[in-house]
């Protein structure tokens, strides 16, 4: 089942590479920098922060404090599967990570949250990722939710800095805004990017 899912995600990811390049264009976010006026907007925050991962201030996947994820690596020592026995939802979660060719940074990650009995998928999200080759840092994400809505996120850095702001746009619902204080991520240490919560979510 996981192999079939990964194959489908790989085909989708590779077919989308050319399109993603155009998404990074700043013109896509011309209206995104004006809505929140530099303040944290809960609506915008909810687009990039959920019970499986967050993109703000930098990428982290979520688990409960004291719960150890289980990692699987390929022959290039890249983590390609993470199993979280108990996520902050109180249920099992998994992450499948796909890389392009021999690159060390991820191309797409598929997040899955299961029902509490572990038998069915309760929610899933695909996250497409792009990184700057010369600065070795994250520059763009696209989230595809379980209901097929899409969130596009560009990181606009300050000059000579690894911090800046997230320009966020919910393409499906025409909602856009800015989150200041974003941080860079080099994409090479996926397994270590853990955000541990002390209590399960009540949702």
- Torsion, CA 115, CA 116, CA 117, CA 120, rounded to 10: 10
Asked if residue 100 belongs to a domain, the reply is yes
Q: Whole domain around residue 136: which residue ranges?
A: 2-197
Token match 């025409």: residue?
A: 174
Other beta carbons within 10 angstroms of residue 159's beta carbon come to 5
Query: Are 95 and 81 spatial neighbours (Cβ–Cβ below 8 Å)?
Result: yes
Domain presence at residue 56:
yes
Domain count, the chain: 1
Q: Can you list the alpha helix ranges (DSSP code H) found in the chain?
A: 2-23, 42-48
* CA 117 to chain centroid: 25
Tell me the C-alpha distance between 91 and 110, whole Å: 17
Task: Determine the pLDDT at residue 8.
Answer: 55
Which pLDDT score, from 0 to 100, does residue 134 have?
87
Q: How many beta carbons lie within 10 A of that of residue 150, not counting itself?
A: 16
CB 174 within 8 A of CB 55: no
pLDDT (0 to 100) of residue 22: 44
pTM to 2 decimal places: 0.81
Q: Which residues of the chain have pLDDT under 50?
A: 3-4, 6-7, 9-11, 13-15, 17-39
Q: How far is CA 9 from CA 99, 173, 178, in A?
A: 11, 24, 29
Does the residue 203 lie in any domain?
A: no
Answer yes or no: is 202 within a domain: no
**How many helices (H) and strands (E) are present in the chain, helices listed first?**
2, 12
As given in the structure block, the two tokens for residue 72 are 């699987």
The count of C-alpha atoms lying within 13 angstroms of the C-alpha of 176, restricted to the half-sphere facing its C-beta, is 16
């Amino acid at each position: 089942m996981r192999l079939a899912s990964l194959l489908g995600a790989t085909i989708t990811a590779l077919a989308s590479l050319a399109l993603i390049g155009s998404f990074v264009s700043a013109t896509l976010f011309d209206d995104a920098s004006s809505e929140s006026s530099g303040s944290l907007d809960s609506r915008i925050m909810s687009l990039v922060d959920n019970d499986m991962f967050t993109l703000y201030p930098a990428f982290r996947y979520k688990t409960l404090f004291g719960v150890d994820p289980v990692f699987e690596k390929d022959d290039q020592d890249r983590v390609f599967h993470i199993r979280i026995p108990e996520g902050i939802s109180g249920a099992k979660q998994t992450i499948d990570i796909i890389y392009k060719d021999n690159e060390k940074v991820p191309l797409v990650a598929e997040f899955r949250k299961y029902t509490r009995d572990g038998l069915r998928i309760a929610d899933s999200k695909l996250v497409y990722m792009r990184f700057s080759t010369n600065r070795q840092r994250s520059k763009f994400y696209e989230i595809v939710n379980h209901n097929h809505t899409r969130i596009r996120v560009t990181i606009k850095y300050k000059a000579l800095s690894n911090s800046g702001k997230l320009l966020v746009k919910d393409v499906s619902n025409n909602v856009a805004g800015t989150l200041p204080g974003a941080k860079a991520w080099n994409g090479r240490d996926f397994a270590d990017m853990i955000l541990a919560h002390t209590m399960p979510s009540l949702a």
